Chain A
Amino acid sequence: MKSLAFFPRTRRMAIIMHLFLLGYVAVILFPLSWVVIGALKTNREMFLDPTGLPADPNWGKFIEAWNAGVRDFFINSVVVSGVSVALIVIASALAAYALTRMNFRYSGWVYLLTVLCFAIPVHAVLVPIYGLLSDLHLLNTHLGLILPYAAFGLPFSIILMYSFFYEFPAELEEAGKLDGCGPWRRLWFVVLPLSRPVLISVAIFNLVGVWNEFLLATIIMTSKHMQTLPLGLVSFRDQYGTDWPGTLAAISIGSLPLLVLFVIFQKYFVRSMAGMGK
């Protein structure tokens, strides 16, 4: 009989939890849908009925925004984000694998330093980074943004991969040794194919950060044709200050890639993040 008394209570809890989650989803989805719907309205509709639906959805603003400069920002963002995330994934996987498998002298210190780097805020080193990139003539180049992005993405990625590799079953790698794999082949044929969740998590996590990064991009990409999406969208808004649907269309285009990627890979992302506390 105890279970019967218990049942309504858990049911009530479930309903409360779901109501809370629904509210949370609404808070997240409202601005997002407002942006997309706003892009389909006329400027007049925007001001007369900001939260209403468009009478005649106008998809033309997306093409207009794309041709008015969003395309360049988009390409810059894809190049910078793609290369820096690839660099982060490759370098952090190699570093974490070496740190967990090769007991070289001071390997513990190297890991500790990596953790310490995680604690350095970008604001604290903004001026030296600018000076360094200026000396290397990398201002207003893709590489000028890729290098600091990769550097700042590495510590957290290494920590995440370190904990994953640390718990990777030793027997599988030993089987690899007996099957004729050296360290590189073990990493390539045995460890990495089984590390997909953590690799994808690292990629998505960094992609979100890099795709939306503003501060470093502001000081490094001063030339308009090199700007990435977040930076470009600000100047876009200034330029088309009165054209709200156009601005919202540009923002929608900028947000779309991450949303799509996240929906596709969220399974891995959640799994890997959930395993972090182990």
Chain B
Amino acid sequence: MSELSINGLRKSYGATEVLHGLDLEVSGNEFVVFVGPSGCGKSTFLRSIAGLETISGGSMTIDGADISGLEPDRRGVAMVFQNYALYPHMTVAQNMGFALRMAHVPKAEIARKVREVAEILQLEPYLDRRPMDLSGGQRQRVAIGRAIVREPKVFLFDEPLSNLDADLRAHMRLEIIKLHRHQKGISIYVTHDQVEAMTMADKIVVMRDGNIEQVGSPLDLYNEPVNRFVAGFLGTPRMNFLDATSTGVANWRLGLKVGGMTLSPPIRPDADALPEAGAPLSLGVRPDGWRIVAEGDGLAGRVVHAEQLGRETVVFIELEHGPQVAMIQPGQYRLHSDDAIWLAPAPDELHLFDASDAALPVARIPRTNSHN
């Protein structure tokens, strides 16, 4: 059981601060995914933990020991790089055993450990080959093997699957998760792909502009985003946002005007800040949160395009008094372009955000997970 604690981590390049005092606690055998758009600082954050970037402030500890000023190899971390970063002049076995060789581990011990890891990763037939003679997936496994051989407390992955094709990526995702369960220890994984984040993480860290926006389990973040950015970042197609106006609270219900439609979702018992009448709000509806309703009952729109995926239908709709929205309906809906359609959000699927984009946990009834 390892523990990684990061307090007030800052990183500046000259006068420009790129990480603004980040705090994070990771413990046990968690698989943590840093996710965010390009330039949000997630890779810099990871590289700061690795010791490849010198931090400008704050502290980092692993199992209570301060690692902030230590050289990368003294931190108990290992990293898998985006472009593998295998040494081209060394064989697979030499690549995997290089860190141990640098640590003056006896040759026989290095050979034993390399063989052991090669067996786990099914790399035994390739031990004498050079990286250039391997496929992308094999190279990736060697890069992972090189990290495992060092038996680190924290594994760091910097967008390791971005160079692989879609099939191999899905396969390697599963391999990495299986390895993580097998190895124990903390894994921190950087990606800009929210599907990767949702499918792999025990804990997701959503970042934007050098700040952590929200930390939590994939479903917590999906169901209870703290702001419009997190809500829009997780989920495909992304959450739909519509302008709404509060008409005030009455009988434990919040009145909302959205386009030509009025809604009155029930107020959550734990809601504390209620919007005043006339307050401008943003209504968020996930694509699977729409219901098709009878003509005149909801928002009018026209079908732009319907993607027939067999098990579900993804419909893009241009609203008459609003933006284009995406809707997912289970099953097969034979809709065509320009078909008129009426839709309304399910009352328990409403997300509300105030003028500063912060979530208002007012109306939405939290989903319950049957196995939690």
**A residues adjacent to B (C-beta < 8 A):** 169, 171-172, 174-175, 177-182, 185, 189-190, 193-194
Contact = CB atoms under 8 A, between A and B. Distances in A.
Contacts of B99: 178-180
Interface of B: 50-52, 71-73, 77-79, 81-83, 85-89, 98-99, 102-103, 146, 150
27 contacts: A169-B83, A169-B85, A171-B82, A172-B87, A174-B52, A174-B72, A174-B79, A174-B81, A175-B81, A175-B85, A175-B86, A175-B146, A177-B72, A178-B51, A178-B52, A178-B73, A178-B77, A178-B78, A178-B79, A178-B99, A179-B73, A179-B98, A179-B146, A189-B98, A190-B87, A193-B89, A194-B87
Contacts of A177: 51-52, 71-73
A180 B102 contact: yes
Contacts, number: 54
Contacts of B50: 178
Contacts of A189: 98, 102
Contacts of B82: 171
Nearest to B82: A171
Contacts of A190: 87
Contacts of A180: 73, 99, 102-103
A259 B286 CA distance: 74
Contacts of B51: 177-178
Nearest to B74: A180
A171 B85 contact: yes
Given A175-B86, A178-B50, 13 more contacts: A169-B83, A171-B85, A174-B79, A175-B146, A177-B51, A177-B72, A178-B79, A179-B98, A179-B146, A180-B102, A185-B102, A190-B87, A194-B87
A272 to B, nearest CB: 17
A172 B81 CA distance: 9
A179 B98 CA distance: 7
Contacts of A175: 79, 81, 85-87, 146
Nearest to A181: B102
Contacts of A171: 81-83, 85
